[in-house]
Chains A and B, each alone.
Chain A
């Protein structure tokens, strides 16, 4: 199993550009989530999904969209990038029965100029 994969590893955007961060998992997990991690602030939940076709907002959803058309994929879209979105983004998945034990992808480092 590849586990949780994320692409790209690093991205530079200009203010106002849009892009999609990709996340995929091959463990047949129902629960998937997106976090951003900023220095000194820990992980903050952006959006999460408890199964295909179901998504919900987390703590900091503004400026981001998600969709979950399959169990495997959970892309995160930045609609119009802003410098405040410069961060490291982690995707995670978990078996729904537990929800807690989340397996993290390697992260995407995003720089918005």
Chain B
């Protein structure tokens, strides 16, 4: 059965800290891995990763994929209170059945 597992489930840090969120997966016909940020409402897209070892970066956020070990990490440096959210990882299954398999998310709380 395909699955995506995120860790930790929740994390509390202080403003300015650096955090690393983990996502491991077992998905047949892997096509891509995506990170989303969910605040109060709908998830918003952060990154899509398809190739191993190539870092995607956007401001203080960065992510990398390891297709051999089947995991990805999302790093956030110099955290701010606005980074508080649930971070979701999802893997797109390819072949004839395009479906995103979602992890349960990591709830990140940034204390001032």
Contacts and interface: CB of A to CB of B under 8 A. Distances in A.
Contact of A58 (B43, B90, B99, B104): B99
Given A45-B100, A100-B31, A107-B42, 9 more contacts: A31-B98, A40-B9, A45-B99, A48-B98, A90-B43, A100-B100, A101-B34, A106-B42, A107-B41
Given A45-B99, A58-B99, A104 B104 contact: no
B22 interface: no
Interface in B76-112: 88, 90, 92, 97-100, 102-105
Interface residues of B, number: 21
13 contacts: A42-B88, A43-B90, A43-B100, A44-B102, A50-B98, A59-B99, A90-B43, A99-B98, A100-B48, A100-B100, A104-B43, A104-B44, A107-B41
Interface string A95-113: 0001111111111000000
